[in-house]
């Protein structure tokens, strides 16, 4: 994992639990398996506790770790460091993706409710006018009562968003090729084709994985289907949106956006997305941030406790899960 992540990830209680469960050196944090310190640790390691920035565990690394039996990932997706060699070796893998999904879903719900309330425009208008005004007349279409929200992808995060939106008086639509109408109904939504979702929703929120099939799934044509004043929320991956087409729509002011992910991940300084008044742009922080990191570390400690007790992981990851993860 990235060396600077460890001190922020591990609160005192979780660190104490981890060190009580296993022979763990909290000072040994590596982002390069070829260093002498990493090589010495790999020779003895039975478990790797990984996080963001972990290098790939390829055949060369595994050859240097003859005792390795499990990888406990204290973050979300494992697709960037768990390789085919891990599955061939029979390495057990678990991830705290469920824990990282919670703040992403909370961020999304806040974005949905704020978008329907037209918070950005209200702030801008109030700042400009600085005087009494008939807000009811100017914002007759605002609010969250019986508005339509479209969720793209019944991923772990997408399902959590649907669950959190249940108490509100919203019409929930869902597009996911792996979810039929009956399952969507159980999730509190109506299953619809993606075009229909884009055309009907006041807010479209994207929660699909990054795959060749999902590249630019929200393209210029589908953006054009969205109603005037609708909002696109993306907390998944930037590649799922045709960003040039989105910028063109946003520049006209026809649509709004809440974007936590972009292409590239850090936009160039001259990107219009930084300054457009109808855009909320955040630096990929919808997931665990600050104190929320401790939830993922605690999840890793829970899995280590199960593993040392000879129990199966509570949140295992298998090779079949990779193609449907972010």
DSSP lists the bridge partners of residue 150 as 173, 204
116 CB-near residues (< 8 Å, 6+ apart): 142, 143, 144, 147, 202, 203, 231
- Listed residue (53, 93, 85, 157) closest to 321, CA to CA: 93
According to DSSP, the β-strands at 279-281 and 203-206 are unpaired
311 CB-near residues (< 8 Å, 6+ apart): none
Q: Is position 175 annotated as part of the catalytic site?
A: no
Catalytic residue among 237, 294, 295, 315: 237
Catalytic residue among 8, 284, 292, 306: 284
Catalytic residue among 44, 46, 88, 265: 265
DSSP secondary structure letters along 29-93: --S-TTSHHHHHHHHH-SEEEE-TTPPPB-HHHHHT-TT--EEEESSS--TTTB-HHHHHHT-EE
Cα separation, 208 vs 235, whole angstroms = 9
Cα separation, 96 vs 104, whole angstroms = 13
Cα separation, 262 vs 231, whole angstroms = 16
**Do you find a cis peptide bond into 264, omega within 30 degrees of 0?**
yes
Residue located via tokens 């109904």: 185
Q: Is position 237 annotated as part of the catalytic site?
A: yes
Indicate which residues carry an active-site annotation: 237, 265, 284
């Amino acid at each position: 994992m990235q060396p600077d992540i460890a001190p922020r990830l591990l609160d005192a209680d979780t660190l104490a639990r981890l060190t009580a469960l296993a022979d763990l050196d909290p000072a040994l944090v590596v982002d390069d398996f070829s260093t002498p310190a990493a090589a010495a640790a790999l020779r003895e390691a039975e478990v790797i506790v990984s996080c963001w920035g972990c290098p790939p565990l390829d055949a060369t690394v595994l050859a240097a770790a003859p005792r390795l039996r499990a990888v406990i990932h204290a973050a979300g997706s494992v697709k960037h460091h768990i390789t085919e060699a891990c599955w061939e070796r029979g390495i057990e893998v678990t991830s705290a993706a469920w824990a990282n999904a919670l703040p992403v879903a909370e961020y999304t719900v806040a974005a949905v409710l704020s978008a329907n309330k037209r918070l950005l425009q209200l702030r801008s208008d109030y700042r400009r006018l600085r005087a009494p005004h008939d807000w009811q007349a100017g914002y007759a279409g605002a609010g969250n009562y019986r508005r339509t929200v479209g969720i793209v992808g019944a991923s772990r995060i997408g399902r959590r968003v649907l669950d959190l939106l249940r108490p509100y008086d919203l019409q929930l639509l869902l597009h996911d090729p792996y979810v039929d109408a009956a399952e969507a109904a159980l999730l509190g939504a109506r299953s619809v084709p993606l075009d229909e979702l884009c055309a009907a929703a006041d807010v479209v929120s994207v929660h699909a994985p990054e795959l060749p099939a999902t590249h630019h799934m929200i393209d210029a044509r589908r953006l054009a289907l969205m109603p005037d004043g609708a909002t696109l929320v993306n907390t998944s991956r930037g590649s799922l949106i045709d960003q040039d087409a989105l910028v063109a729509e946003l520049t006209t002011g026809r649509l709004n956006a809440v974007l936590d992910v972009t292409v590239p991940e850090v936009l160039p300084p001259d990107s219009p997305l930084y300054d457009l008044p109808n855009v909320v742009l955040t630096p990929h922080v919808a997931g665990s941030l600050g104190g929320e990191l401790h939830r993922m570390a605690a999840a890793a400690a829970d899995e280590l406790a199960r593993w040392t007790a000879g129990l199966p992981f509570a949140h295992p990851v298998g090779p079949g899960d990779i193609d449907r993860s972010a």
